[in-house]
Amino acid sequence: MQVNVIFFGVLSDVVGKNMLTIQDTGNMTDLKSKLITNYPNLKDYTYRMAVNQQMVEDNYLLFDNDSVAVMPPFAGG
Amino acid sequence: MQVNVIFFGVLSDVVGKNMLTIQDTGNMTDLKSKLITNYPNLKDYTYRMAVNQQMVEDNYLLFDNDSVAVMPPFAGG
Amino acid sequence: MNLNKEEIQYYHRHLILPQIGKTGQQALKKAKVLVIGAGGLGCPTLMYLSGAGVGRVGIVDPDKVAVSNLHRQVLYGFSQVGEFKAEAAVNRLKDLNPNIVLKAYTQRLSPENAVDLISQYDVVVDATDNFPTRYLINDFCVYLDKPFVSGSIDRFQGQLSVLNFTDNQGNKCPTYRCLFPNPPAPETAPDCSQNGVIGVLPGIIGNLQANEVIKMICGVGEVLSGKVLMFDALSNQTMLFSIQRNEQAVQQALQNAPDFESFDYESFCSSSQQKINEISAVDLHKKLQNNEKIQLIDVRSIPEFQEELPNAIRIPLNNLQANIHNILKNDCQVVFYCDHGINSIRAIRMLPNHQTLKNVFNLTGGLVAWLKEEKK
Amino acid sequence: MNLNKEEIQYYHRHLILPQIGKTGQQALKKAKVLVIGAGGLGCPTLMYLSGAGVGRVGIVDPDKVAVSNLHRQVLYGFSQVGEFKAEAAVNRLKDLNPNIVLKAYTQRLSPENAVDLISQYDVVVDATDNFPTRYLINDFCVYLDKPFVSGSIDRFQGQLSVLNFTDNQGNKCPTYRCLFPNPPAPETAPDCSQNGVIGVLPGIIGNLQANEVIKMICGVGEVLSGKVLMFDALSNQTMLFSIQRNEQAVQQALQNAPDFESFDYESFCSSSQQKINEISAVDLHKKLQNNEKIQLIDVRSIPEFQEELPNAIRIPLNNLQANIHNILKNDCQVVFYCDHGINSIRAIRMLPNHQTLKNVFNLTGGLVAWLKEEKK
């Protein structure tokens, strides 16, 4: 099973792209630790994660082809 | 089988709502004639129709749960 | 096209963006953009294109600033009411950015001047409020091979597309006629003066138009070509629809090319399906002076202008159905009017057998035309 | 709240919209909206709220108009550079709409004045460019039970939500802390002066903010509450994400309620994870006057300000990694600086073992703070 992850704002700089496909994730905690293993700088950042356009908490279970969005707060105005 | 039809601009006034579900349609020509039977004033209007976010011609075949959008040109600026 | 010290300070927030930077800012400085229509869509587009540093901005609009414009045409002020919009815009924008060249054209875009005007610019913005000008822009941009950014609005919804764009593989992309080969009957496509508009809507769509122009010039992001964006301000829903180029429709734009100057866009866009008798303000004036028996019917619900025609009876459009019998039982001439002469056409279309009603007329151009005539 | 003759003409396009009409226009006239921040987001919001006829518009901004603002802060002009933004805005807006009351506040929003300011208004617009003020607005709006429309931007993307809204069933909706309970470390969330921004982006997001305010006041459409809108200007993609109210996060906003005036939003929003040595402009001045041996490093790639510190070497952030060894082999004190003191923090974080480097400092507030100090 795989999920598609889209990154907003400064997080796409940290990851180096706007979009990723991640294999074999269980819940959000698994996905987060996979992301941080690949992109250790992510741990310094503040962000919220949404699955299929709904903001969720860490224990949320992921299904095949779920769309995950990772968004930081924006400073600018 | 059914399709969902969304209307933009002045067409939602003609139809009296923004959205409709239409049963038993084959291709776009069938759908158009069903709509005009129900809302005869539609025939005076200019519009284009899209299926699943793609503008299509009259012979386009419809499938169950397709999203159809009906949009007129807008005058205002 | 180097940037001077003041420009480096002015455009700092663009210069530090890798996607724009010095190269992009120089491309903007070199660019020439013609904005046709300095109304609801034109105001925000003009402000942000000027701020972005487009080197030469042309502004075409024959209208003058009116009080009822200001709720959405936020570039202007009360102090400018009565001035030509194109000139009022230049006056404000040269204070916003003294580093660019601004040019006001106070004539209406027409088949006679379109080649001369459009050929001086790289990109055109369609910010007009009527179909004759929309088709005119399309046909001349196709003829002169210029991309244009089309925006249009209806009450709470907006439409946006980049048209006649040539992509980086050299492919020609869709035009306005690929989307809508022929114009709608005017009374089926009311504009803002008939239907109203929430003031902030042209702000949103006009800014999206400026965004597309900037992306096109700087070669950054995905240009909205081959797609139409539909936005609904009530729900914040945005939908993108893909469209195809239709060579037949493109040829339709080109077929009159040698005769462009004589092609009548007004009549091309006027209703062809059902003829309605029209009466000009001049002729109505004469008839009234000759004491002809004429019943005047004012169909406005909320008048834009306080003035009324003499002895008119007021039946707003939405009460018309219930009152039709009282109006038409006498056999005198009946003239319907409203502010601009469009809602009155809709009123006449609501009458039973309106095609056979030889004594029913629409006042062409409405009260606006009447008041102009009276001033003479 | 009746409308006079001039207002009926001014708001004509609103009055003929059934969804707004006379009732909606009167509600707008009665409404009081406080816009906090008169910058990139504030300018378009202010123009369209004023045009829409919001009866009382308050504008909070302690900054003055600068040249580098103008590419996106299109309400102002060169003739206003150096004036307080709040006052420059009022001067322009009263010409746009003389029928409304405009009030300029040139002080910074702070825990000391927030209750007094916010309690005078019905709706707040968060159009600020920093997290201390964003959390301050959130906490005081929760405390005073006011809805607020939050907008924020990063280069080509924008975020929008209506927060702390009470829906028509009386339910309390999510707040900013329900979305982001705690602020990011400042160097992980650069603002427009560090990262740049495409000028038209705040135009789009600011207009969407005005749209939400108008919908809320007129009770029309779906207010963007319980949802966050993300917009990407490069692709025109818009996504809506649903969010839930988090009572714990709301309590966090309220828990300091009696002590609000002493809560330090600046330090709440400053980096807590890794301490970096800071040096103030005053102290740096003294050290240099005492001839202490200090290596100054300017990490700006495209300087906003032409000035430089004496004997500074220029190593732009993206060349730093390659040059680190040359910088740090000597054992003198090293001070990193940039325009605003944020990119220099990012530079220091890129150094190896920066936590143990006792002799490395960041110039607090950057060149801006230095130039202010020099003027004294």
User: Which of D188, D230, D345 should be substituted to probe chain A, the one whose Cβ sees the most A Cβ atoms within 10 Å?
Assistant: D188
Of B69, B74, B76, the CB nearest to C239: B69
β-pairing, C360-363 with D32-36? unpaired
What's the pLDDT score for residue D332? 82
In a domain, B77, yes or no: no
Interchain proximity D230–A8, CB inside 8 Å? yes
- Neighbouring chains of C at 3+ CB pairs under 8 Å are B, D
Interchain proximity A77–D157, CB inside 8 Å? no
How close does chain C come to B1, measured CA to CA in Å?
23
In a domain, A75, yes or no: no
Of A46, A55, A77, the CB nearest to D152: A77
Write down the H helix ranges in chain D: 5-10, 12-15, 21-30, 42-52, 85-96, 114-118, 131-144, 176-179, 192-195, 200-218, 247-254, 265-268, 281-289, 320-328, 343-350, 366-375
Of D128, B59, D362, the closest CA to residue D136 belongs to D128
Of D182, C247, D106, D70, the closest CA to residue A46 belongs to D182
Q: What are phi and psi for residue C281, nearest 5 degrees? A: -60, -40
What's the pLDDT score for residue C54? 98
Of D79, D78, D51, D46, the closest CA to residue D61 belongs to D46
In a domain, B74, yes or no: no
Interchain proximity A74–D179, CB inside 8 Å? no
What's the pLDDT score for residue C238? 97
Write down the H helix ranges in C145-199: 176-179, 192-195
Interchain proximity C207–D44, CB inside 8 Å? yes
- Other Cβ atoms within 10 Å of C81 Cβ, number: 14
What's the pLDDT score for residue D194? 79
Of A53, A69, A76, the CB nearest to D197: A76
Cβ–Cβ pairs < 8 A, chains B and C:
102
Domain containing residue B24:
1-69
Instruction: Give the residue from chain C lying closest to D68, CA to CA.
Output: C10
Amino acid C362 reads: N
Of D19, D50, D204, the CB nearest to C208: D204
What's the pLDDT score for residue D323? 77
Q: Which residues of A touch D42 (CB under 8 A)?
A: 77
How close does chain D come to A1, measured CA to CA in Å?
23
What's the pLDDT score for residue C270? 73
Interchain proximity B55–C151, CB inside 8 Å? no
User: Which of C72, C128, C148, C154 should be substituted to probe chain B, the one whose Cβ sees the most B Cβ atoms within 10 Å?
Assistant: C154
User: Which of B45, B52, B55, B74 should be substituted to probe chain C, the one whose Cβ sees the most C Cβ atoms within 10 Å?
Assistant: B74
In a domain, A76, yes or no: no
Domains assigned to chain D: 30-268 (3.40.50.720), 276-373 (3.40.250.10)
User: Which of D75, D200, D223 should be substituted to probe chain C, the one whose Cβ sees the most C Cβ atoms within 10 Å?
Assistant: D200
CA dihedral A17, A22, A25, A30 (to 10 degrees): -30
Interchain proximity D96–C76, CB inside 8 Å? yes
Interchain proximity A10–D41, CB inside 8 Å? no
Write down the H helix ranges in C97-246: 114-118, 131-144, 176-179, 192-195, 200-218
What is the C-alpha to C-alpha distance for residues A59 and A30, in angstroms, rounded to an integer? Answer: 9
What's the pLDDT score for residue C21? 95
Using the Cβ of C2 and the Cβ atoms of chain B, whether some distance falls under 8 Å is answered with no
Tally the domains of chain A. 1
How close does chain C come to B23, measured CA to CA in Å?
24
For residues D231 and D157, the answer to whether their CB atoms sit within 8 Å is yes
How close does chain D come to C120, measured CA to CA in Å?
25
Q: Which residues of D touch A13 (CB under 8 A)?
A: none
In a domain, A77, yes or no: no
Tokens in use for D148? 């607020």
In a domain, B47, yes or no: yes
**Helices D200-218 and C200-218, axial angle in degrees (round to 10):** 160
C204 exposed, middle or buried (CB, 10 Å; 0-12, 13-18, 19+)? buried
Is the pLDDT at B32 greater than 70, yes or no? yes
Instruction: Give the residue from chain B lying closest to C43, CA to CA.
Output: B77
How far is CA A6 from each of CA A22, A35, B6, rounded to the nearest angstrom?
11, 12, 28
Of A9, A48, A50, the CB nearest to D180: A48
How far is CA C257 from each of CA C250, C254, C261, rounded to the nearest angstrom?
11, 5, 8
User: Which of D135, D154, D276, D345 should be substituted to probe chain A, the one whose Cβ sees the most A Cβ atoms within 10 Å?
Assistant: D154
What is the C-alpha to C-alpha distance for residues C208 and C223, in angstroms, rounded to an integer? Answer: 11
pLDDT, one tens digit for every residue, chain C (376 residues) = 789 999 999 999 999 999 999 999 999 999 999 999 999 999 999 999 999 999 999 999 999 999 999 999 999 999 999 999 999 999 999 999 999 999 999 999 999 899 999 999 999 999 999 999 999 999 999 999 999 999 999 999 999 999 999 998 999 999 999 999 989 987 788 877 778 899 999 999 999 999 999 999 999 999 999 999 999 999 999 999 999 999 999 998 887 655 666 677 877 777 545 578 899 999 999 999 998 889 899 999 888 888 889 889 888 887 887 777 767 666 688 999 998 888 888 888 777 665 457 788 999 989 989 998 888 7
Running DSSP on this structure, what letter comes out for residue B42? G
How close does chain D come to A24, measured CA to CA in Å?
24
What's the pLDDT score for residue D306? 84
- In which residue are the tokens 């972005």 written? C52
What is the C-alpha to C-alpha distance for residues A56 and D244, in angstroms, rounded to an integer? Answer: 9
Instruction: Give the residue from chain C lying closest to D301, CA to CA.
Output: C16
Instruction: Give the residue from chain D lying closest to C24, CA to CA.
Output: D198
State the ipTM, two decimals. Answer: 0.88
How close does chain D come to A43, measured CA to CA in Å?
11
Of D17, D71, D203, the CB nearest to C11: D71
For residues D167 and D313, the answer to whether their CB atoms sit within 8 Å is no
Residues on A contacting D at a C-beta cutoff of 8 Å: 8-10, 44-46, 48, 50, 53-55, 69, 71-77
Q: Which residues of C touch D235 (CB under 8 A)?
A: 221-222
Residue B5's domain is classified under what CATH number? 3.10.20.30
In a domain, B76, yes or no: no
Tokens in use for A64? 């095949």
Interchain proximity C199–D14, CB inside 8 Å? yes
- What tens digit of pLDDT does each residue of A10-29 get? 999 999 999 999 998 888 99
Q: SS3 for A40?
A: helix
Using the Cβ of C224 and the Cβ atoms of chain B, whether some distance falls under 8 Å is answered with no
The list of chain D residues with pLDDT below 70 reads: 256-262, 271-274, 326, 328-331, 352-357
Of C181, C362, C193, the closest CA to residue C274 belongs to C362
How far is CA C140 from each of CA C59, C246, C314, D113, rounded to the nearest angstrom?
17, 17, 43, 58
Element (H, E) at C21: helix C21-30
Q: Which residues of D touch C10 (CB under 8 A)?
A: 67-68, 70-71
